[in-house]
Structure 1
Amino acid sequence: MNKNFFYVLFFLGLMGHSQQLPQFFSDNMVLQQNDTVPIWGLDKPGQKIQITTSWEYKVATKTNEKGEWRVMLPTKEAGGPYNIYIQGSNLDTIHNILLGEVWLAAGQSNMNIPLKGYRNTPIDGALDALSNADHHEIRFFRVNRNPTLRPASDMSGEWKISSPENAMEFSAVAYFFADQLRDKLDVPIGIITSSWGGSKVQAWLGEDSATKFSELIIPKVLGDSGKDKRTTPTSLYNGMISPLQDYAIKGFLWYQGESDRETTNYKELFVELIDSWRLQWHDSKLPFYFVQIAPFSYDALNPVPGGDAARVREAQLQTYLSVSGTGMVVTMDVGDCQDVHPSQKKVVGDRLAYWALADTYQILIPYQSPIFKKAVLQKKTGEVKVYFNYAASGFIRQKNLKGFYLSDDGKKFKTAKARISDDGNVLLSIDGLQPRFLSYGYGDCVETGLKNTYGLPAAPFKASVLVE
């Protein structure tokens, strides 16, 4: 148990009321189905605690010397509504509980942006989604902002049932993900969202993780500015992730990276985040599906190919390729060079759902974007042939396929004419070059168009050209 529980207990004792549950154990919550889920809380030291569920399970325990208690509750198949009765120094009842699939969605503004959008930033398909948002089987718990340099024992928020009024405030990406899962799995879906626009990955690391990186300095006092609160190492992990401890979930969704364009070791930080979050939930195999940042003109002076955003996408691709149990959604086709918050959040949420449906729930559908395999210079034809994984049926043919560049020195790149070959690969004209290097979509905002036959866009990359 978190040591800060002791101080909470002391404060509650002064108020004459000892029994307390974390706020996410509350009415309308969703618990992971067919699992053994932890429930915990506070009461007077040595107090007997009796927990009874309306799915016919009982368990008893006693608080320790600090007043902490914790039990494990077995759940059954999806369904409900159920109640949980907790009898300690007084009786607490948690009402209208559903058993289903629970996911944690986190990141920065593109995860945070709600279905109603931001000012002058709409969400495509929002009106249709809201008009069909009366789903009592979709529940959201939005974690309120709480930056802190010490691990918090609780977080503020409230479980809300999907309705047109409530869904307006839900994360658009997470809502579309939840709607897809509810429709395909026919079970209740609970989403816990914890996000803050402009946050850096270091803020979502715990102290044990942050101290592994010499450049990350945890101050003794958290600054007052919004930037300090959302970028200081450990500040968001402590207040917005750590209190969940190991609330039973099926997996993670992540959409962040725009604020780390100048971070040179983003991959190492991101891998540490994934590993440490899995460690907190005591499951090294928990699915972790994330969104590769979308095209945007961060700096019009950046050359193409090149740019800080391209390096973040490269780090994200390397993470996906090197860390098991991860999945990456490519967004090269749904970005907006003039808006860092592109409007097509349904596409993003749906693609995250395809990953979950196929990879987690074993429903056989295509879900992976084409990933570069190799490029070979064919001297006889004077073309570079580019091969991809996850494009077994080839690509959607186009008259003017954009996004490919060739270079003989790795510094100056020239636009390459590209076409789809009859055998389902990509052919590039060398136009007098002796190409040694190749890139695709490798820039802050490069126009691209390569998609496999299922409409999933190819991930951007840079690579060497082999000689046949």
Structure 2
Amino acid sequence: MLKARTISILLAAAMPSVALAQGDNLLSIDPMFGSNAVIQRDEPVTITGSAPAGKLVTVSVGGAERSVKAGKDGRFAATFPLVTTGQPFDIEARSPSGRVVSHNVLAGDVYLCSGQSNMELEVRHAQDAMGQISSSADPALRLMTIPRAVADQPRDTFAQTPLWKAAGPDSVPDFSAACYYMARTLRKSAGVPIGAIASSWGGSQISPWMGERAQAAVGNSAQSALLALHARNAEEGERAASAQWEGWWRAATGDRAGAEPWQADAKMDWTDAPAIGAWEDWNVPRLADYNGMVWFRRDFTLTAEQARGEAALSLGTLDDVGRAWINGQPVGMGARAWQPTTLNVPAGILKAGRNVLIVNVVDNYAKGGLLGPAADMALRPAQGDAVSLGDGWAYAVARMSPPGAPRVPWSDVTGTSTLYNGMIAPIGAIKLKGVAWYQGESDTDIPGYADRLAAMMADWRRQFGQPDLSFAIVQLAGYGEPATKPENSGWARLREAQRQAVVADKHAGLATAIDLGDPFDIHPGEKQELGRRLARVMRALAYDAPIARAGPQAASAVKGGDGTVILRFSGVEGGLRLRSGVQALGFELCGSDDQSCRYVPATVQGDQVILTGDGKPAERVRYAWADYPVMNLFDGTPLPIGPFEMPIGR
């Protein structure tokens, strides 16, 4: 039972929809203010919802009332000045045709958690799940998971209504583990109700989470314009995207127009495909572990009736992405490996007699190919019988798989603003205490991550009307074969981009997870400690706790005597500590290029680390610079010293 306290009401900002009203009218309160919600304390709030256009709606929050009129778009917004922590209360909306009520609402601190699969990973899949779930009941900790959704344009409402739930054995198992453990820790330290909103999608790049303004800030307005075109006219958008892809191919390969692999009579080393399914399962040695591009071909014959007009082309699941042509003409791209692809074939492409279908499939990891099922693969003309496409395919491994193939901006995990539009924009302008962000694996080796992260943070702050909104960024955990020599690591570059983005933003902090990784699992199960570290960052940023917002980090590197390099650190608590050794592991000196990097001895002296020179040129220091680095340097809290690269000063 919550302690009763006096509620002081005065509120402002949010959006999407929850409860249905009486009868068949459209009155509803947006789900962010639904039953069991937490609204941000000590902030103004605008209760939003839907109602018949032009109708008067009276909204009450714990006794205070406002009457507003729904706009032409059927949306209403009632602003109240302020809500402080206190006992549960109701939010009610009334109109002449109905009434809706959200029960058991609390004022407290609200957090948004977002990212890809390591943020999405549920409590039930993390370590010690049974024990943590069994003791998870807390009526003042409220959880909401935003369902996956893709949208071409920012939505006012959710495609599927999310619900607030009190923490307990029924709600916690399917909730984000990192977000839950952070929120649970903050419940203990802040002593107020906590609301945690999880909005993540496994495998997603950062670009789908960036709104149109963020895209413009990083020079990606052309893709935003293409997305807008697709929203207005999907067929025109697909034609433009196909032209973009075909132009990229010719530029990357040197193929002249009319001689590309998607032409009906293209000369390639065609071989009969053993089956519909992943090519790794074909028992073809060169494809057993192949990640790259494969072309597929299927001839089929149509009658004059079948060739007349449009058709639907069902290709099953294309993993990871696929693009199709019929008779040399583009018919679209399957951009979502999670679901079957059906493309519209415009009138005029099909012809009576022989037709040639070409499909290009690119697989970036795990298994790839035409996954089927074969029974679902068919061409379904507007007139005449369907043509089965579940067998009779030939394949040819691409002679080259050029990097950087353009993706359609309306895809899910690699799109442009699509997840922002469907999963962040509908949250509205509610006030938040902070945002936890755990993403980056899918952006490895894509330049400019620090700029994209900065643009995304600025864009989300604009949406929520909080220019100083706190962001806690998880620096990627270790993954892969433990390092035995210096390497040119894409994961290390991504971690450095995360660090640089935090250094440049005084309202952002870093939760280093470098020591929490698993060399065999990209989804490490230790999420409790990660949650505690995220909560620590939030305490520094959102509660002004006197601790470093980025934990212990290198502050400077300068040349010392006898060829040494002296490293100084900030944010160290309790001094530097070594584990299992007398020297610090993972420090490198580098010359002008990455091939010059080499491990060097490193000794700890107080809050400094002294690197022993080897007489070779040294311009930079790198630390823990590997996909999965071996390192043993911590402070007294204990937190690991975070990975970094920095120039050596004089």
Q: What is the TM-score when the length of structure 2 is the normalising length?
A: 0.65
Q: Aligned match of 1:152 in 150, 155, 162?
A: 155
What is the deviation of 1:208?
A: 2.9
- Is the 1:30–1:102 contact (alpha carbons within 8 Å) kept by the matching residues of 2? yes
Partner of 1:77: 84
CA–CA distance in structure 2, aligned partners of residues 292 and 426 of structure 1: 22
1:387 aligns with 2:568: yes
Cα distance, 1:166–1:451 mapped onto 2, change above 3 Å: same
State the partner residue of 1:231. Answer: 414
In 2, the alpha carbon distance for the partners of 1:353 and 1:457 equals: 16
Q: Distance in 2 between matches of 1:418 and 1:442?
A: 15
CA distance in 2, matches of 1:282, 1:376: 42
Which amino acid in 2 is paired with 1:353?
A
Q: Note the C-alpha offset of 1:91.
A: 0.8
The structure-2 alpha-carbon separation of the partners of 1:97 and 1:223, relative to structure 1 and needing over 3 Å to count, comes to farther
Cα deviation digits, residues 9-53 of structure 1 (max 9, x gap): xxx99x942212323331111111122111111212332211122
Change (3 A) 1:97 1:430: same
> How big is each residue's C-alpha offset from its partner over 1:363-409, in whole Å with a ceiling of 9 and x where there is no partner?
345654222222223224x5322111112642013424211112344
Task: Identify the residue that residue 25 of structure 1 maps to in structure 2.
Answer: 33
> Displacement of 1:429 after TM fit?
2.0
Partner secondary structure for residue 186 of structure 2:
helix
Cα distance, 1:177–1:154 mapped onto 2, change above 3 Å: same
- Counterpart of 2:464? 281
The equivalent of 2:602 in structure 1 is 418
Of residues 291, 315, 324, the one that matches 2:497 is 315
- The SS at the match of 1:129 is helix
SS in 2 for 1:145: coil
2:523 counterpart letter in structure 1: H
What is the one-letter code of the residue matched to 2:138? H
Q: Aligned residue for 2:193?
A: 188
The one-character-per-residue Cα deviations of 1:293-325 (angstroms, maximum 9, x if unpaired) are: 11112x899973321111111111110011220
Give me the whole-angstrom Cα distance separating, in 2, the residues matched to 1:224 and 1:440.
38
CA distance in 2, matches of 1:355, 1:59: 38
Distance 1:370 1:97 in 2: 39
After superposition, the CA RMSD in angstroms is 2.5
Separation of aligned partners in 2, 1:248 and 1:466? 43
Measure how far apart 1:128 and its partner are: 3.0
Alignment of 1:212-251 (within 5 A): 212-214=217-219, 217=223, 218-219=226-227, 220=230, 221=234, 223-226=334-337, 228-251=411-434
Return 5+ residue gaps in structure 1 as ranges. Answer: 118-122
1:103–1:251 Cα contact (<8 Å) kept: yes
Counterpart amino acid of residue 152 in structure 1: R
Counterpart pick for 1:344 among 517, 526, 546: 526
Match of 1:136 in 2: 139
CA contact (8 A) 1:366 1:454 kept: no
1:34 aligns with 2:77: no
What is the rounded CA distance, in whole Å, between the counterparts of 2:80 and 2:132 in structure 1? 35
Following TM superposition, by how much is the alpha carbon of 1:436 offset from its aligned partner in structure 2, in angstroms?
3.0
1:105 aligned onto 2:113: yes
Q: Which deviations, in whole Å up to 9, do the C-alpha atoms of 1:172-226 show, x marking residues without a partner?
A: 0111111111111111110111000000110011123224444562442485514
The range that moved more, 127-136 or 175-184, is: 127-136
Contact 2:573–2:637 (Cα < 8 Å) also in 1: no
- Asked if the contact 1:394/1:425 (under 8 Å) is kept, the reply is no
2: CA distance, partners of 1:296 / 1:24: 36
What's the offset of the Cα at 1:258?
0.4
Kindly provide the CA deviation profile for residues 273-304 of structure 1, in whole angstroms up to 9, marking residues without a partner as x. Answer: 0001101111211111110111112x899973
Alignment-mate amino acid for residue 460 of structure 2: W
| Shift in Å, 1:257 | 0.5
Unaligned runs of 5+ in 2: 1-14, 235-332, 339-410
Q: Which residue of 1 aligns with 2:408?
A: none
Name the CA distance, whole Å, in 1 between partners of 2:216 and 2:549.
Answer: 36
Match of 2:560 among 360, 378, 394: 378
Over residues 109-153 of structure 1, what are the superposed CA-to-partner deviations in whole Å (9 max), with x where a residue is unaligned? 011001011xxxxx2233332122010111111000011112222
Matched residue of 1:241: which SS? helix
Instruction: Give the aligned length.
Output: 449
* Counterpart residue number, 1:266: 449
Rounded to whole Å, the distance in 2 between the matches of 1:145 and 1:67 is 25
Code of the aligned partner of 1:178: A
Distance change >3 Å, CA 166–CA 321, structure 1 → 2: same
1:94 partner letter: S
The TM-score normalised by the length of structure 1 is: 0.90
Retained in 2: the 8 A contact 1:103–1:191? yes
Provide the rounded CA distance (Å) in 2 between the counterparts of 1:243 and 1:142.
13
- In 2 relative to 1, CA 358–465 (structure 1 residues): closer, same or farther, beyond 3 Å? closer
| Matched letter for residue 160 of structure 1 | K
8 Å contact from structure 2 (residues 483, 627) kept in 1: no
Q: Secondary structure at the match of 1:98?
A: strand
Shift of 1:343: 1.5
- Cα contact 1:198–1:230 (8 A) shared by 2: yes
Give 1:436's match in structure 2, choosing from 605, 619, 626. 619
SS for the counterpart of 2:558 is strand
Letter aligned with residue 145 of structure 1: R
Give me the whole-angstrom Cα distance separating, in 2, the residues matched to 1:68 and 1:62: 9
1:47 to 1:112, Cα distance in 2 relative to 1, 3 A: same
- Residue in 1 that maps onto 2:578: 397
Q: Distance in 1 between matches of 2:565 and 2:634?
A: 19
How far is the alpha carbon of 1:420 from its aligned partner? 0.9
Query: Once the 2 structures are TM-superposed, how far is the Cα of residue 260 of structure 1 from its aligned partner?
Result: 0.1
1:455 to 610, 614, 638: 638
* Corresponding letter in the other structure for 2:619: R
SS of match in other structure, 2:91: strand
- Structure 2 CA distance for partners of 1:323 and 1:223, relative to 1, 3 Å: farther
CA offsets, 1:312-341, max 9 Å, x none? 111111100112201111111111222111
Match of 2:240 in 1: none
* Corresponding residue of 2:168: 163
AA in 2 matched with 1:390 = G
Q: Secondary structure at the match of 1:277?
A: helix
Mapped to 2, the partners of 1:142 and 1:273 lie a distance apart of: 21
Tell me how far apart the structure 1 counterparts of residues 71 and 530 of structure 2 sit (CA, whole Å): 46
Q: 1:125 aligns with which of 115, 123, 128?
A: 128
**Of 204, 214, 227, which residue of structure 2 is paired with 1:199?**
204
CA separation in 2, counterparts of 1:61 and 1:329? Answer: 43
The percent of aligned pairs where both chains have the same amino acid is 28
In structure 1, the residue matched to 2:511 is 329
Q: 1:210 to 1:365 in 2, by over 3 A?
A: closer
Q: Tell me the amino acid that sits aligned with residue 638 of structure 2.
A: G
Between the aligned partners of 2:486 and 2:616, the Cα distance in structure 1 is: 18
Work out whether 1:59 is the aligned partner of 2:59.
no
